Amino acid sequence: MRLLRHCLLTLLVLLLPLAVQAASRDTLRVGLQLEPPNLDPTSGAATATDDVVYATIFEGLTRIAADGTIRPLLASGWTLSDDGRSYLFDLRPGVHFHDGSVLTAEDVVFSLTRAIGPTSTNAQMQALRAITQITATGPLQVRIDLAERDSAFLTLLSLGDAVIVSRATADALATSPVGTGPFRFAGWRRGDAVTLERFDGYWGRPARLSRLVFRFIADPNGAYAAMRAGDLDLFPDFPAPEVLGQLAADPRLKLAITPSEGEVILAINQRQGPLADSRVRRAIALSIDRQAIIDGSMYGYGTPIGSHFPPHSPDYIDLTGLTPHGPAAARRLLAEAGYGRGLDLTLKLPPPAYARRGGEIVAAQLAAVGIRARIVNVEWSAWLDEVYKRHDFDLTIVSHAEPFDYAIYGRQDYYFGYESPAYRALLTDLKAAPDAAARHRILGDLQRRLVDDAVNGFLYQFPHLGVQDRALTDLWVNSPNQVVDYAAAHYGAGDAAGAGPSSAAAGDGWGIWLLWGALVLLLGAAIIGFGPSYVLARLSVLAGTLLGATLVIFALVQVVPGDPATVMMGLNASPEAIENLHRELGLTGSIPARYLDWVGGLLRGDFGISYTYRVPVADLIGERLSLSLPLALLSVLLSVMIGLPAGYLAAVRQGGWLDGVLSWIMRVGIAVPGFWLAILLVLGFALGLGWFAAGGFPGWAAGPGPALSALTLPILALALPQAAILARVARGALIETMHKDFVRTARAKGLSRAQAIRRHALPNALGPVLTVLGLQVPFLLAGGAIVENVFSLPGLGRLVLQAIAQRDLIVVQSVVVLLVGFTVFASLLVDMAYALVDPRLRDGRAA
Partner 1 sequence: MNALRAGLLLTGVFVAAGLLSLVWTPHDVTQVDIGARLLAPSAAHPFGTDHLGRDLLSMIQAGAAVSLSVSLLGVGAALLLGVPLGLLAAARGGWVDEALMRTGDLVFAFPWLMLAILLAATLGPGASNAVLAIAILNIPVFARLTRGEARRLWQLDFVAVARLAGKGKARISAEHILPNLSGPLSVQATIQFSLALLAEAGLSYVGLGVQPPAPSWGRMLADAQTLIGTAPWLAIAPGLAILLAVFGLTLIGDGLARHLRRGEGA
Integer angstrom CA distances of residue 634 from 701, 725, 781, 798, 826: 18, 16, 11, 18, 16
**Least Å distance between CB 687 and partner 1?**
6
Does 785 participate in binding partner 1 (rule CB under 8 A)? yes
Cβ-contact 131, 116 below 8 angstroms: yes
Does 599 participate in binding partner 1 (rule CB under 8 A)? no
**Phi, psi (5° rounding) for residue 458?**
-95, 115
Query: Closest Cα to residue 402, out of 41, 235, 159, 65?
Result: 159
Does 545 participate in binding partner 1 (rule CB under 8 A)? yes
Nearer to partner 1, 450 or 811 (CB): 811
Does 713 participate in binding partner 1 (rule CB under 8 A)? no
**Least Å distance between CB 134 and partner 1?**
43
**Least Å distance between CB 629 and partner 1?**
15
In 281-388 the beta strands, taken as DSSP E runs, fall at: 303-304, 343-349, 371-377
Residues contacting 461, CB < 8 A, separation 6+ = 259, 260, 262, 263, 264, 302, 303, 304, 305, 310, 311, 312
Does 783 participate in binding partner 1 (rule CB under 8 A)? yes
Nearer to partner 1, 489 or 602 (CB): 602
Tell me, residue by residue from 236 to 265, as one string, x for binding to partner 1 by CB under 8 A and - for no binding. Answer: ----x-xx-xx-------------------
Nearer to partner 1, 102 or 830 (CB): 830
Stretch that binds partner 1, among 617-625, 645-653, 710-718, 815-823 (CB under 8 A): 815-823
**Least Å distance between CB 251 and partner 1?**
16
**Least Å distance between CB 289 and partner 1?**
9
Does 670 participate in binding partner 1 (rule CB under 8 A)? yes
Distance CA 349, CA 392 (A): 13
Does 823 participate in binding partner 1 (rule CB under 8 A)? yes
Nearer to partner 1, 407 or 557 (CB): 557
**Least Å distance between CB 824 and partner 1?**
5
Site residues for partner 1, 333-352, by CB under 8 A, read 351
Tell me, residue by residue from 558 to 587, as one string, x for binding to partner 1 by CB under 8 A and - for no binding. Answer: -xxx--------------------------
Stretch that binds partner 1, among 173-181, 216-224, 253-261, 404-412 (CB under 8 A): 216-224
Nearer to partner 1, 219 or 261 (CB): 219
Residue 258 CB-density burial (10 A; 0-12 exposed, 13-18 middle, 19+ buried):
middle
Nearer to partner 1, 568 or 790 (CB): 790
Chosen residue from 820, 828, 832, 835 binding partner 1 by CB under 8 A:
820
Site residues for partner 1, 88-147, by CB under 8 A, read none
Nearer to partner 1, 479 or 610 (CB): 610
What size, in residues, is the chain? 847
Tell me the site size for partner 1, rule CB under 8 A: 72
Query: Closest Cα to residue 766, out of 649, 644, 592?
Result: 644
Distance CA 383, CA 664 (A): 46
Nearer to partner 1, 615 or 683 (CB): 683
Tell me, residue by residue from 349 to 378, as one string, x for binding to partner 1 by CB under 8 A and - for no binding. Answer: --x----xx-xxx-xx--x-------xxxx
Residues contacting 386, CB < 8 A, separation 6+ = 348, 378, 392, 393, 561
Distance CA 745, CA 742 (A): 5
Does 676 participate in binding partner 1 (rule CB under 8 A)? yes
Nearer to partner 1, 618 or 812 (CB): 812
* Parallel, antiparallel or unpaired: strands 193-198 and 343-349: unpaired
Bridge partners of 198? 183
∠ CA 159-379-356, nearest 5°, is 95
Nearer to partner 1, 3 or 552 (CB): 552
Residues contacting 280, CB < 8 A, separation 6+ = 274, 333, 334, 337, 339, 343
Chosen residue from 790, 793, 799, 810 binding partner 1 by CB under 8 A:
790
Chosen residue from 234, 459, 812, 828 binding partner 1 by CB under 8 A:
812
Distance CA 685, CA 671 (A): 22
Nearer to partner 1, 88 or 679 (CB): 679
Chosen residue from 268, 782, 810, 828 binding partner 1 by CB under 8 A:
782
**Least Å distance between CB 377 and partner 1?**
5
**Least Å distance between CB 356 and partner 1?**
8
Nearer to partner 1, 131 or 790 (CB): 790
Site residues for partner 1, 679-698, by CB under 8 A, read 679-680, 682-683, 687
Provide the 10 A C-beta neighbour count for residue 763.
12
What is the dihedral sign for C-alpha 25, 31, 32, 36? positive
**Least Å distance between CB 680 and partner 1?**
7
Nearer to partner 1, 186 or 549 (CB): 549
Nearer to partner 1, 102 or 804 (CB): 804
**Least Å distance between CB 724 and partner 1?**
10
Site residues for partner 1, 521-540, by CB under 8 A, read none
What kind and span of H or E run contains 439? helix 436-452
Nearer to partner 1, 68 or 783 (CB): 783
**Least Å distance between CB 765 and partner 1?**
17
Q: Is the bond preceding 37 in cis, omega lying within 30 degrees of 0? A: no
Residue 314 CB-density burial (10 A; 0-12 exposed, 13-18 middle, 19+ buried):
exposed
Site residues for partner 1, 282-301, by CB under 8 A, read 292, 295-296
What order of strands is seen across the sheet that includes strand 75-80?
75-80, 86-91, 141-146, 131-138
**Phi, psi (5° rounding) for residue 267?**
-75, 140
Nearer to partner 1, 142 or 387 (CB): 387
Nearer to partner 1, 92 or 228 (CB): 228
Distance CA 464, CA 302 (A): 9
Integer angstrom CA distances of residue 540 from 187, 313, 533, 603, 825: 42, 68, 11, 15, 12
**Least Å distance between CB 546 and partner 1?**
8
Tell me, residue by residue from 761 to 780, as one string, x for binding to partner 1 by CB under 8 A and - for no binding. Answer: -----------------xx-
**Least Å distance between CB 299 and partner 1?**
9
Residues contacting 91, CB < 8 A, separation 6+ = 61, 74, 75, 76, 103, 104, 105, 108, 140, 141, 142
Query: Closest Cα to residue 691, out of 682, 678, 704?
Result: 682
Provide the 10 A C-beta neighbour count for residue 78.
19
Nearer to partner 1, 483 or 796 (CB): 796
DSSP 198-219: E-TT-SSSPPS-SEEEEEE---
Site residues for partner 1, 604-643, by CB under 8 A, read none
Distance CA 315, CA 309 (A): 9
Does 819 participate in binding partner 1 (rule CB under 8 A)? yes
**Least Å distance between CB 640 and partner 1?**
21
Does 804 participate in binding partner 1 (rule CB under 8 A)? yes
Provide the 10 A C-beta neighbour count for residue 379.
16
Angle between helices 2-15 and 704-738 (to 10 degrees): 160
Chosen residue from 328, 671, 689, 847 binding partner 1 by CB under 8 A:
671
What kind and span of H or E run contains 825? helix 809-837
SS3 of 195, please? strand
**Least Å distance between CB 807 and partner 1?**
9
